[in-house]
Structure 1
């Protein structure tokens, strides 16, 4: 929890350093977080120590792909909601995120050291934006009908980086 709070504080600090335009600021903050994560994911490998032999064990690349989908301004909202558990209820917020990221710059994610407990996968993730990288934060995914999706809590954390409330 302390790591998440630190990452949020860093991300919000990046937002405070942006322009007075709130959507530009939100996009800037989100991009910073995403770019850090991408750097880590390029070198990430899946850890299967807790779920050895489980064919459903997700790889870091699979989990990172859900983040890449969510952060890609060119991806339709319907495709983004499909990678989030109960994503349809977050469609309006996800659309706001898409608008905030348009023209901001690429967010990248680096997912590493995946651990699985039951239907939940957790992995430290570095998010990098055009403004820099944030410290790794633990993000979670849930196995939903055989597909690994971002947990609602993780979606809300990412939306919060862009100052978009999960209501």
Structure 2
């Protein structure tokens, strides 16, 4: 995931690539864990990228990933699909980038830097939500990312 931020070339306003800690640290509830469970303020970009790294880690069982994405209990197999899609589409990559901006109670905005082969990186608006005692990626954000891989999920609302 760090490849997206590193491929900006001469994009002088590009943020530095986030430093990701191990998924075991997040699961153990270290600093990242407390940032994710503090409903008083949105977590740091490093904590959010750790959440994303856990969600796409093929070694983490999908049962443990459900708490990371709003509404994913409707389709827990989506994590397997996401891991597979990322592996099969190495020319599509994304990472969350600063700033994390509070946008009301239990909600914040963050940018996702998306890079596809042959195209300059682009930033897309995304949201995180505080739900069931922790910050999660919103289902809207994950559904948009799944769209990059043309993967559909029961947790995503069909386009109207």
* Alignment TM class, shorter chain as reference: 0.5 to 0.7
Cα distance in 1 for residues equivalent to 2:89 and 2:17: 22
In structure 1, distance between residues paired with 2:118 and 2:63: 28
Residue from 81, 86, 91 that aligns with 1:96 = 81
In 1, distance between residues paired with 2:3 and 2:95?
A: 6
State the structure with bigger RCO (CA 8 A, min sep 6), 1 or 2. Answer: 1
SS for the counterpart of 1:112 is strand
1:42 to 8, 14, 17: 17
CA distance in 2 between counterparts of 1:79 and 1:134 reads: 31
What SS does structure 2 have at the residue aligned with 1:91? Answer: coil
**Paired residue for 2:62?**
77
Per-residue deviation at 1:120?
0.7
Structure 1 residues 100, 36: CA separation in 2 closer, same or farther (over 3 Å shift)?
same
Give yes or no for contact 1:84–1:155 (8 Å, CA) kept in 2: yes
Higher helix share: 1
> Which of 123, 126, 129 is 2:113 aligned to?
126
- CA distance in 2 between partners of 1:98 and 1:126 (Å): 18
Over 3 Å counting, the alpha-carbon distance change for 1:114 and 1:138 in structure 2 is same
CA distance in 1, matches of 2:76, 2:60: 13
Determine the C-alpha separation between the residues in 2 that align with 1:60 and 1:136: 15
Pick aligned residue for 1:156 from 139, 143, 148 = 143
Task: Note closer, same or farther for the CA distance 1:72–1:130 as it changes in structure 2 (3 Å cut).
Answer: farther
Distance 1:79 1:152, change over 3 A: same
RMSD: 3.2
Normalized against structure 2, the TM-score is what?
A: 0.62
* Counterpart secondary structure, 1:140: strand
| Cα contact 1:124–1:137 (8 A) shared by 2 | yes
Q: Distance in 1 between matches of 2:58 and 2:120?
A: 19
